[in-house]
Amino acid sequence: MQKNNGLDKNQLISFVIFSAILMAFMFYFQNKQSDEKQVADAKAKTEQKVASKTIANNINATVNAAAIKNVTVKNKELTLEFASLGGQLSSVEINQYKAYNAKTDKHDLPLYLIEKNNSSYGFQFKDKTGKTFNTKDLVFVPSVKDNTVTMTAQVSGATIQYVYQLLDNYTLDFNVKTQGLSSTVTDEKADFHWNYTVRGMEKGRSQEQTHSEFNYAFDNYGSTDYDTNGFEEPEETLNWLAVKQQFFASIIESTNGFTHAKGTQETIEKGEFLKKFNFDGQVKLAGNELNQNFKWYFLPLDLPLLKTFEGKEFDSILPLGWSFIGTLNRIFFVPVYNWLSDWGIAAGWVIFLMTIATKLILSPVMFKQHKLSAMMKVVKPEIEEVTEKFKGQENAMKRQQATMEIYRKAGINQMAGCLPALVQIPIFYALFRFFPNMIDLRGKGFWFANDLTAYDDLIKLPFHIPLIGEHISIFAVACTIVVLIYTIMTSGQMQQPQQEGMPDMRIIMYIFPITFFFFLNTSSSGLSWYYFVSNALNILIILAIKYWILDEKKIHAQIQQNKSKAPKPEGKFQKRMREMMEKAQEQQKMQEEQRKKMNKK
């Protein structure tokens, strides 16, 4: 009886060929099967070993397209699609809003925050060999029940599960669970990576790019910050991170927070996308397992809506301005706009009424300013006489002192003219923040402007002009004209430069409205309309004061009467100014003496 020493050469060759054919046969049909059968089929263990080795080397070049499945859930507010590759969101549509369509010049396109692979996120782990693998490289098996999507993936004997639940109020609960991960990883943390390229959804690329930025909360929601370039927070724990666009925000919140957070931004000059955002943060593992709750929010930046998320500080994402500026918008301009809008008035007329309301509130201060302008006009001949008498740079101090003496005898307080200007600076900046960020104005047209949050471009240019672009805004032109008229009317009482070499302030004041046009031409047409109405009202107020309220002859008589009286004692401010001028005059004399000595040498 022949002893069996095992397989002979022919049997070995036949076995190898048969095994190769069998493996190829199995591989082919496994790729044809669904993900559910791959998990259930015992033969998939061989593939999982190959996949885990591939993932451990952070390579995903051969993902089978047939294994990728997308599932969709929706409610009144959001329509969400999830991809089995990475188990992540592949599409986010906000149902009740539309995106801008350049072809129709209207907001009539579906509004997608995420679509066409512009967003990718996942958790990166380090295994015991020191190699890394990322969940966005894994193929998850999806299952859907009502508005809950469960994504399950296997890697190196561990199970990773994402449980998404679509809630009301633009919220998506995102629960991450792992089992058996502790046998694969040794690190006590996982890295969360989010790469997000935002697309343009509004009219006016430069304005939308300017308003696209990072926002985040830290210090247990006690502090918030924003960043337009990039940030790094090595010591703070971020409660949530938002990528904000002009009117919408995508937010990821972590129950336990993100540590060692870092964000970078890159502007895209052309095309449908505006900016690239990259965020990296760490989350802690408990027992080398990741079992944490996260939440996604895809929000329109509507102030009343943002305030419904109590304790989250989401309203800080809306850039209405810091400190007093933001308070002014929140307690006055936004409530007044909403109140007037409730009357059913067109948005442009709401802005018109807002302008009148603001003027009425400022009327006492504005009246003082215009009265001061009238009084300055009355004493202008005497100021010119002093200027003629004390010519030359060597008489600059005497000229200034004589001018202040005229003002003092006439009872004119120059500082009173500064107050209206100081009051209007925060109002201007508040409105600069209000109009391009008020979502209720988005898509609202008025006359030739189709959207009051963007520029009007009824006049289109066939070529690009630096600082202007390819259009001319009618609202910007109209605003520039009335500001120029107002400047001419109010600059008549301004003095000529009292020192040689000093510029004529009137020329600078005339140039300002023209340069202001370049700013307004690409800004919100609502802002231009507001300032057109505001300055037109200023002109009417000046004319009313001049012809019906103030009597220049009476003012002149009052000034002459004040001159005949004993001069009032110097006030603290006047005394300080006089002392400063005397000190400056002494320093000037000393410099001249030193210069003479140097010339003699």
pLDDT per position as a tens digit, 529-557: 988 998 888 888 778 777 776 666 666 67
The string of DSSP codes covering 534-554 is HHHHHHHHHHHIIIII--HHH
Question: 309 and 445, same structural domain?
Answer: no
Provide the token pair at 557: 């008589």
Which amino acid, one-letter code, is at 296? W
Q: How far apart are CA 329 and CA 355, in angstroms?
A: 14
**Number of Cα atoms under 13 Å in the Cβ half of residue 314:** 28
pLDDT reading at 247 higher than 60: yes
* Same domain? 220 vs 334: no
Q: What is the pLDDT of residue 66?
A: 54
pLDDT at 243: 94
pLDDT digits (tens, 9 = 90+) for 289-300: 889 999 999 999
Least confident stretch, 245-254, 355-364, 433-442, 496-505: 496-505
358 and 273, same domain (yes or no)? no
Portion of the chain with pLDDT greater than 70, in percent: 73
More confident residue, 432 or 50: 432
Last residue of a domain, one of 266, 299, 319: 319
pTM as predicted: 0.73
Q: For 235-249, 285-299, 565-579, which range has the lowest pLDDT when averaged over its residues?
A: 565-579
- Please report whether residue 542 resides in a domain: yes
Q: Token pair for residue 253?
A: 């919140």
Same structural domain for residues 198 and 214? yes
Task: Answer left, alpha or beta for residue 367, where phi above 0 means left and psi between -120 and 50 means alpha.
Answer: alpha
530 is written with which tokens? 């507001």
Q: Are 101 and 193 in contact (CB under 8 A)?
A: no
Q: How confident is the model at residue 308 (pLDDT cuts 50, 70, 90)?
A: very high
> In whole numbers, what is the pLDDT of the chain averaged over residues?
78
CATH of the domain at 110: 2.70.98.90
Q: What is the mean pLDDT of residues 564-588?
A: 63
Domain shared by 514 and 458, yes or no: yes
Beta bridge partners of 215: 226, 242
What is the pLDDT at residue 22?
40
* 282 in a structural domain: yes
Q: Is residue 501 part of a domain?
A: yes
Between 495 and 130, name the one with better pLDDT.
130
The pLDDT of residue 480 = 87
For tokens 């308003």, what's the residue?
211
Proportion of the chain above pLDDT 90, given as a percent: 28
Which pLDDT value is given to residue 30? 42
Residue with the bigger pLDDT between 226 and 565: it is 226
Split into its structural domains, the chain has a count of 2
Express each pLDDT in 128-137 by its tens digit.
877 888 999 9
**Quick one: 273 and 400 in the same domain?**
no
Q: Is residue 160 in a domain?
A: yes
Nearest in space to 214 (alpha carbons), one of 237, 234, 243, 183: 243
Can you give the pLDDT at residue 37? 39
DSSP letter at 567 equals: P
Q: Range of 430's domain?
A: 326-568
- List pLDDT tens digits, range 9-56: 333 344 344 345 444 444 443 444 444 434 334 333 333 333 333 333
Q: Do the domain assignments include residue 347?
A: yes
| Alpha carbons 495 and 384: distance in angstroms, whole number | 8
CA-based torsion, 392, 398, 403, 404: positive or negative: positive
In this structure, is residue 599 part of a structural domain? Answer: no
Q: What is the DSSP string of 267-325?
A: E--SSSEEEEEEEEEEEE-BTTB--EEEEEEEEE--HHHHHTSTTT-GGGGS---SHHH
**342 — phi, psi (to 5°)?**
-65, -15
Cα 496 from Cα 580, distance rounded (Å): 22
pLDDT-based confidence at residue 319 (cuts at 50, 70, 90): confident
311 and 212 in a common domain: yes
DSSP 194-215: EEEEEEP-SS-HHHHHHT-EEE
Q: Highest-confidence range of 4-18, 246-260, 586-600, by mean pLDDT?
A: 246-260
Are the CB atoms for 507 and 474 separated by under 8 Å?
A: no
What integer is the mean pLDDT of 553-564? 66
Distance (Å, whole) CA 131 – CA 124: 10
Q: pLDDT band at 301, cuts 50/70/90?
A: very high
Q: Within a domain: residue 33? A: no
**Both 312 and 375 in a single domain?**
no
Domain final residue pick, 295, 319, 343: 319
- Residue 495 and residue 478 share a domain: yes
pLDDT at 61 over 80: no
Is residue 596 in some structural domain? no
Distance CA 56, CA 67 (A): 20
Domain boundary among 293, 319, 345: 319
Q: 100 and 226 in one domain?
A: yes
Sign of the CA dihedral running 75, 79, 83, 86: negative
- Over residues 417-429, the mean pLDDT reads 72
Query: For residue 38, what pLDDT is reported?
Result: 42
Could you tell me the two tokens for 194?
């989010």
Report the amino acid identity of residue 270: K
- Average pLDDT, integer, range 573-600: 67
Lowest mean pLDDT, pick from 84-88, 414-418, 459-463: 414-418
End-to-end CA distance of the chain: 131
Q: Is there a single domain that holds both residue 447 and residue 313?
A: no
Give the pair of three-digit tokens for residue 472. Answer: 């001319």
pLDDT of residue 563: 61
pLDDT at position 112, please?
A: 95
298 plus 346 within the same structural domain: no
